[in-house]
Structure 1
Amino acid sequence: MKLDIEKVDFFNGVTSLVAKCSIGSGLLLVLLYCNSINFYPRNIQAGDGLFFIWVSLVFGFIFSIVTLLFSMPGYTLYSALRLLNPWRRKLKPNSNFFDSAAIHLFSIITVAVFSIAIYFNDLNFQLSLGEIRNFVFLLIALFINGVFFSNIFEANPNRDNKWLKPISLLFLFVLPSFIIDGFFYNSLNGAMEKLGVRESQSSVYIDMDELPVVSDALKVSGYSLLGIDKISEKRFKIPNTIIEFQGVGDTNLIRLCRDKECPSIHIKAEKMTVSKPNKAT
Structure 2
Amino acid sequence: MGSAGGLCSSPRAWGCGWNVIRLLCFAFINWGAAENTAAVIVVNQTPPSICAMEGSEFTIECTFNTSNNSTRWFAEWNKIRNNVTAKVNGTDRIILSADPEKRSLSLTVKKADVTDSGTYVCGVGSKDVIYPGTGTQVTIDAVDLLVTQSPAFVNEEEGKQLTIDCRFRALEKPSTKYSVKWYKNGTDGHEKELKNKTGSLTTTLDFSAGLASLTLTNTSMSDSGFYRCDFGKNGRGNGTRVTIRDKRRNASRVLFIIRMVLGALVIILAVIIITECVMSEKRAAVSRTI
When you count helix as a share of all residues, which structure comes out higher? 1
When you count strand as a share of all residues, which structure comes out higher? 2
Q: Which of 1 and 2 has greater Rg?
A: 2
Q: How high is the TM-score relative to the length of structure 1? A: 0.19
